[in-house]
Amino acid sequence: MVLNPVISKLTGKLVVLASASPRRLEILTNVGLKFEVVPSWFKETLDKTLFKKPYEYAVETAKQKALEVAKRMPYKHLKTPDIVIGADTVVAVDGLILEKPVDKQDAYRMLSRLSGKEHSVFTGVAIVLCQEQEATEIEYSVVEFYEETKVKFADLSEEMLWEYIHSGEPMDKAGGYGIQALGGMLVEYVHGDFLNVVGFPLNHFCKRLGELYNTPSETSAQSIKSESSKEQWTLVNELSKCVENGETEDSISAVPALTSRGALQKPNLVEPQGRLHHSPDSLHRIIDLMDGFKASKSLFAASKLKVFDLLTSAEGLSAEEVAGKIVAAVESTERLLDALVSLGLLKKVKHKDIIAYRNTEQAQRYLVSSSELSLHGYIIHCNDHVWPLFTHLEHAVQEGASQYERAFGKRLDDLFQDAYYESKERKLRFMNAMHSIAKVTGRDVASAFDLSRFKTACDLGGCTGAMAYEFTKAHPGLTVTVFDLPAVIEMSSHFYPEQQDSNQVTFLAGDFFKDDLPKADLYILARILHDWSDEKVNELLSRLSAICSPGCGLLVAEIFLDEERSGPSRALLQALSMSVGKQRSATEYSLLMKKHHFSQTRIKHNSNFLDALLCIKE
């Protein structure tokens, strides 16, 4: 294999691909490279007019993708990668950069422009090398390059163009075509690296990788430094001392220890002659998964105890002061606070010769209960409702059913009836969880598409109205009706935003399966469809199709599954709750909408909890 000369030098290193592209994953997997996939959250919104050449735009985008993952992983994934690979592919013709089409008309525009012409395919690649330094810093060295391949299209007839567009293949491909599949029938010739057109210039990449590891002193790389928390898992594991019979744990030299980068530190053992010992890189991923619940529970416990609410001032509080306010033992409180520091949620500061703790900017924004973008309500919901369900996951898999009765001691016939028709406290707790998610995701969902053509909207199951208010902020000419169960509407006044003109948002009580739906130009289904069975989903969409006139819009906001069900996905994990509903990919949602006469689908993948899909009634 081409990579064999450098493969041995990557042993024990954490290599990460900052892309969810199944084509790049397949190319790199086929040559034996061992790596993890962590899709980048970098929004590809760079101004193309600032770049003189198309390849400069592709290289800069690839660099930003890779750096975003490299800097996020020590905090979100609790490990520092050794190498992060970023890539971005663009098609350029007549000086114009063509990326992925937003809809079928956009795909037609692109392919028509390419018809009968030679164009260039550029892939920018960035290799980020991460090296931990002293003083809790990480140095990032960036090696970047690009590859150009010339491609000539045949003269395409209207029939062939639309046949290809209706196949759905153009929608996630740069330039609107995939040369490795049906798009190959459009191509007359290729001059250069074929795999570059598929999405990754393997030959060029291998040469650069060889140069890096065979003659490292000769590589010219940019260096960027960033702070990083040390000994994360060690501190999180310390919490177990507080819960296991109050006993402290003696260190055992024969047990591998976690380093600050989340990898295993090889124990100092004498192996029997001829016996193979484990590779450090082969176990660290498993250890991360084994210990992941400890990080989650640390966050849950701190939120439940309102720790982040206490640490909003710049001076912070000492462990003794926090322990006094949450009525807890000082030693166990200090261990929790240190674990939160290791997770990047708190900082240690020195104030009047006392070590104090205060929130990081991230915690201040998302974890303080009074913050505008607080996730506190949803975190408490995860602790009280989701966590108990997942402790019975093995039974859920064996039985193929929700474990609500086993976790809470009663049957669940209807999640929403159960949540909304019990005590006032339970109703408010559930609504607060939904409210916090809507506040965080609403802005991105509301601004995902140009909705200027619509004047009235109806947010079905809109709960507290948080999503509706974000839509009116993004589209001042839009009025929104929140349509939800009577018990929800009764409590919605608890969540009215301050300093917000409420004239654009109204609330109407009803059941969207039974009652007449309000008339609107646009209907919003945010985190609704995944909760219901196929029968109920089709029933709701049939009702919407019947009430919608041609030109009406339907906007669906959900977590979209990776098309191949192989990449990292919150939706795949969420599906393990084994509810009657299910998660779907963007393609599956598009086909579902088409079945009910909603077409002209546009898809937007966001970097937060929810993706978005907009379709129009035929």
Helix (H) or strand (E) run with residue 302 in it: helix 280-304
Pairing outcome for strands 83-93 and 15-17: parallel
**Percentage of the chain exceeding pLDDT 90:** 39
Domain that includes residue 145, residue range: 4-227
Residues found in the chain:
618
Range 218-243 average pLDDT:
51
In a domain, 363, yes or no: no
Residue 567: pLDDT band (50, 70, 90) is low
Residue 78 and residue 22: Cα distance in Å, rounded?
25
* Minimum mean pLDDT range among 2-11, 323-332, 346-355, 377-386: 2-11
Residue 233 tokens, joined: 């898992």
Pairwise pLDDT comparison (428 vs 481), residue with the higher score = 481
Range 37-60 average pLDDT:
87
88 is catalytic: yes
pLDDT of residue 569: 64
Range 21-50 average pLDDT:
85
Highest mean pLDDT among 39-43, 75-79, 180-184, 288-292: 39-43
Instruction: Give the closest residue to 120 by CA, choosing from 141, 100, 149, 142.
Output: 149
What is the overall mean pLDDT for the chain? 82
In a domain, 440, yes or no: yes
pLDDT of residue 354: 86
Q: Which residues contact 76 (CB under 8 A, 6 or more apart)?
A: none
pLDDT of residue 30: 84
Instruction: Give the closest residue to 520 by CA, choosing from 451, 430, 474.
Output: 451
Looking at 189, 210, 227, the residue that finishes a domain is: 227
Q: Please say whether the beta carbons of 239 and 294 come within 8 A.
A: yes
Residue 208 exposed, middle or buried by CB count within 10 Å (0-12, 13-18, 19+) = middle
In a domain, 205, yes or no: yes
Looking at 202, 227, 252, the residue that finishes a domain is: 227
Residue type, 111: L
pLDDT of residue 419: 52
Residue 544 and residue 549: Cα distance in Å, rounded?
10
Residue 443 tokens, joined: 């802005």
Looking at 194, 227, 260, the residue that finishes a domain is: 227
pLDDT of residue 341: 92
Q: Please say whether the beta carbons of 459 and 468 come within 8 A.
A: yes
Q: Please say whether the beta carbons of 86 and 62 come within 8 A.
A: yes
Report the SS3 class of residue 108.
Answer: helix
pLDDT of residue 259: 33
In a domain, 238, yes or no: no
In a domain, 607, yes or no: yes
The domain that holds 141 is classified in CATH as 3.90.950.10
Residue 523 and residue 546: Cα distance in Å, rounded?
13
Q: Which residues contact 338 (CB under 8 A, 6 or more apart)?
A: 235, 238
The domain that holds 605 is classified in CATH as 3.40.50.150
Q: 543-551 — which CB contacts under 8 Å span 24+ positions?
A: 543/512, 543/513, 543/517, 544/517, 544/596, 545/596, 545/597, 545/598, 545/617, 547/517, 547/519, 548/523, 548/598, 548/617, 549/617, 550/617, 550/618, 551/453, 551/521, 551/616, 551/617
In a domain, 350, yes or no: no
Residue 498: pLDDT band (50, 70, 90) is low
Domain count, the chain: 2
Running DSSP on this structure, what letter comes out for residue 383?
Answer: I
Query: What CA–CA distances, in Å, run from 78 to 70, 142, 233, 409?
Result: 11, 22, 8, 35
Residue 108 and residue 101: Cα distance in Å, rounded?
9
Between CA 279 and CA 286, with CA 285 as vertex, the angle to 5 degrees is: 90
Residue 129 and residue 13: Cα distance in Å, rounded?
11
pLDDT of residue 246: 44
**Position of tokens 């034996």?**
32
Given the residues 82, 88, 172, 459, the one annotated as active site: 88
Residue 238: pLDDT band (50, 70, 90) is low
pLDDT of residue 6: 66
In a domain, 263, yes or no: no
In a domain, 316, yes or no: no
Range 270-298 average pLDDT:
68
